[in-house]
A and B are shown apart, each in its own frame.
Chain A
Amino acid sequence: MRVLVVEDDAVLMNGLQVGLGLAGFTVDAVSTCVDASAALRSSAFDAVVLDLMLPDGSGLDVLNELRGRAVGTPVLLLTARDSIPDRIAGLDAGADDYLGKPFDLNEVAARLRALTRRGNGGASACRIWRDLRLDPATMAVSKSGEGVRLSRREFSILHALMERPGQILSKSQLEDRLYGWQEDVESNTIEVHIHNLRQKLGPGVIETVRGVGYRLAEDSI
């Protein structure tokens, strides 16, 4: 899952970037409203972690702009201003959740998972497709009850495909989800991960739609 962190405190920004990365998220981080708006216009994110007090304005402006464009990306406000009126203003402006500083890193990760899950219309924390079971919270995958060890990237690809079974995801969409801007992507990395996934999960799970991308295999197969 790709997450945009908007936070102007360098230490906290770094902590969120690394910490959420460890929790299985792909994290991009910016520190100003201008950069945040630009990032949100240019790339698709599964969720946004937004600080309210930014050097060049309020995070609420970014949120308003985002909602103004009718983009429904889940937004988690992360702020030192956590009085009830502040929370109400934030939620009314279109935020999906609100967390006051200082917070627990694991809680941020859990809330982000919950937000994206709800955004995808799923009520259960675990994704189940045929005999595959994927738990985003523990990053565990099992096939027919037996655990399968996946790398972080492989897990992310499988997670993306399982979010909307049958929907085709292009290679660049998958790359977007897997890598932040700072990371260099080898041209055939996705292919390599897909190959590894097929080896670990067995055939008939991931289907290649030639020239378009990948999806979970149709039932007819």
Chain B
Amino acid sequence: MKSIRSRLFMILMITTGVVWMSAIAWIYLSTRAEVERVLDARLIEAARMVSSLITSQEIDPKRAAQIPAVEPTMHASYDRQLSCQIWALDGTLVGRSDAAPATPLSDAQDGFSETLIGGETWRVYAVVNTDLGMRVLVGDNMRVRDRLVADVIRGLALPALLILPILAGLIWLSVRKGLGPLNNMAHALETRSASDLSALPDVDTPSEIKPVIRSLNGLFGRVHAARERERDFTAFAAHELRTPIAGLKTQAQVALGSEDPGIRANALRQIVVGVDRTSRLMRQLTDLTNAERGETDSDNHRVNLGKLASRLADDIRQHYPGAALLEIDEKLHDIDLDIDPSLFMLATRNLMENAVLHSRVESPVHCGMRLEGDGVALTIDDSGPGIPEDELPKVCERFYRGRNKTAMGSGLGLAIADLAAKRLGGSLSLKNRPEGGFRAELHLNAAPSSTTPRGEFRHNDGELSPLPVVADAKGDRLAHER
């Protein structure tokens, strides 16, 4: 049933009906029992009375039958309730009352019995008067008894039937009144516009609805915040794209406006750099959205750090052919972690790219690792200029570009790495190395699941872990995106 109101109404009506029906059934049964008890007692009494009257000779049995045994009651419908027969023990009818049938009311010698005479059931009590050799039978027509009970029940049921519609109306109104707060809330929700995310008022609301309103308001708050964040992000992204586009346009105009082949060549080179930078910005925006929404494969896999790092290093080498090289520490190949590979690659790729782009070409970037208390720290060391200490707290903010930036820098790399690290359940720490250069550490809480010696591990690699297939697919996807 769709509507709570009709559902409640039906439930209330059915239960009320059942209660009434049970009450009527109970009253019927108890009334019937009581009526039988009382009327049976009357039968016994009447039979004994007749018997004792005959004994004391106050009634001539021959004449006794001529008069009604008991005065008929004044009530029309209950007249001739009792019938009386007096039989001699030899089986001759000595006398009977007016309405009594001519056949014996009962064959029983003594006590109660029920007999069917002429289609009607009689309840009969028999008393044997041995002194006079007579048997007194007093009988009640059962039809009369049934009518009595039926009258009682009818007297109860008729008002009930009359009251029932009134009761239904009252229940309907009560249910409606009781569901008022719910209707108010539904109305408030129905009439607001889709973009209205303001909280519903939760003062003076019943305690049953309060949790609903609270969780709705909580949801509104979260949706509002998410929408705000998305709007900010879109505005920020659009804004961030304007500068590189302005650069492209300016360089294009320079190329168009100059006759000098040197100037034109330089402008075209700058355009290439600008396009590369802009496409990297676009990719990072997508990465950031992915990391934020968690729309990457959120399944954890057993991944080999060395394998993933090497794959990323190859990819970066292809992408930035003139930049510094990436060295992957052999130790990484001994480490298997149970983490989300795409988030891990998101974080590591951005850290590696940063390191490679900032490093001097002749000194390679070193990617190593360190076992920590309950996890692993992946370290990426470069020989770049580092980040001024006052900028360190801000570098993970989106679009923050410090003073030591590269032409390719979008201000998003570290923000993505930081976000991905957090989503991996780890953290990112950044520091300038005392000996020069910069170190980024990706702390992962996942405990390494394999300490197999390297040679053996490599031998069993394919069987040990289902990862390579997954990682390959991922790697291909990333490669195609370029």
Contact = CB atoms under 8 A, between A and B. Distances in A.
B298 interface: no
Most chain A beta carbons < 10 A, residue from B246, B249, B253, B273: B246
A125 interface: no
Given A22-B257, A56-B403, A105-B257, A80 B240 contact: yes
Which of A13, A100, A105 counts the most chain B CB atoms within 10 A?
A: A105
B405 interface: yes
Contact of A14 (B239, B270, B401): B270
A93 interface: no
B402 A11 contact: no
A105 B239 contact: no
A80 B237 CA distance: 11
Contacts of B246: 9, 12, 78, 80, 101-103
A32 B266 contact: no
A11 B263 contact: no
Interface string A67-95: 00000000000101100000000000000
Given A11-B248, A11-B274, A22 B242 contact: no
Given A19-B254, A22-B257, A106-B253, A12 B407 contact: no
Given A11-B244, A14-B270, A80-B243, A55 B405 contact: yes
B45 to A, nearest CB: 108
Contacts of A100: 242
Interface string B238-279: 011011111111110110011000010011001101100100
B243 A12 contact: yes
B331 to A, nearest CB: 36
A81 to B, nearest CB: 7
A138 to B, nearest CB: 13
A55 B407 CA distance: 13
Contacts of A115: none
Contacts of B402: 55
B239, B250, B274: most-surrounded residue (chain A CB, <10 A):
B250
A13 B273 CA distance: 13
Interface in B131-181: none
B239 A80 contact: yes
Given A9-B243, A22-B257, A80-B240, A16 B405 contact: no
B23 to A, nearest CB: 77
A19 B244 contact: no
A78 to B, nearest CB: 8
Nearest to B399: A53
B277 to A, nearest CB: 7
A15 B407 contact: no
A36 B364 CA distance: 34
A81 B240 CA distance: 9
Contacts of A16: 250
A81 B251 CA distance: 21
Contacts of A14: 247, 251, 266, 270
Contacts of A102: 242, 245-246, 248-250
Interface in B393-417: 401-403, 405, 407
A18 B248 CA distance: 13
A18 B240 contact: no
A154 interface: no
B405 A11 contact: no
B270 A8 contact: no
Contacts of B244: 9, 11-12
Given A11-B248, A11-B407, A102-B246, A22 B258 contact: yes
Interface string B215-257: 0000000000000000000000001101111111111011001
B242 A101 contact: yes
Most buried by B among A8, A14, A22, A106: A14
B263 A18 contact: yes
A11 B270 contact: yes
A12 B247 contact: yes
A22 B249 CA distance: 15
A32 B404 CA distance: 11
Nearest to A51: B243
A11 B266 contact: no
B249 A9 contact: no
A197 B273 CA distance: 40
Contacts of A22: 254, 257-258, 263
A32 B388 CA distance: 14
Given A80-B240, A81-B239, A55 B401 contact: yes
B247 A15 contact: yes
Nearest to B411: A55
Contacts of B242: 80, 100-102
Interface in A91-123: 100-106
A16 B405 CA distance: 19
Interface string A31-69: 010000000000000000001000110000000000000
A212 interface: no
B248 A105 contact: no
Contacts of B277: 11
Contact of B243 (A55, A56, A101): A101
Interface string B65-85: 000000000000000000000
A98 B468 CA distance: 55
Contacts of B271: 11
A198 to B, nearest CB: 28
A19 B257 contact: yes
B246 to A, nearest CB: 4
Contact of B254 (A13, A15, A55): A15
B392 to A, nearest CB: 14
Nearest to B401: A55
Contacts of B258: 18, 22
Contact of A9 (B239, B247, B253, B267): B247
Contacts of B266: 14, 18
B403 A19 contact: no
Contact of A19 (B243, B253, B401, B407): B253
A184 to B, nearest CB: 18
- Which 3 A-B residue pairs are closest in the complex by CB-CB distance? A15-B250, A12-B247, A11-B247
11 contacts: A9-B244, A9-B246, A10-B273, A11-B273, A14-B270, A15-B247, A15-B253, A15-B254, A19-B253, A22-B254, A105-B257
Given A80-B243, A101-B245, 6 more contacts: A14-B251, A80-B239, A80-B246, A101-B242, A101-B246, A106-B253
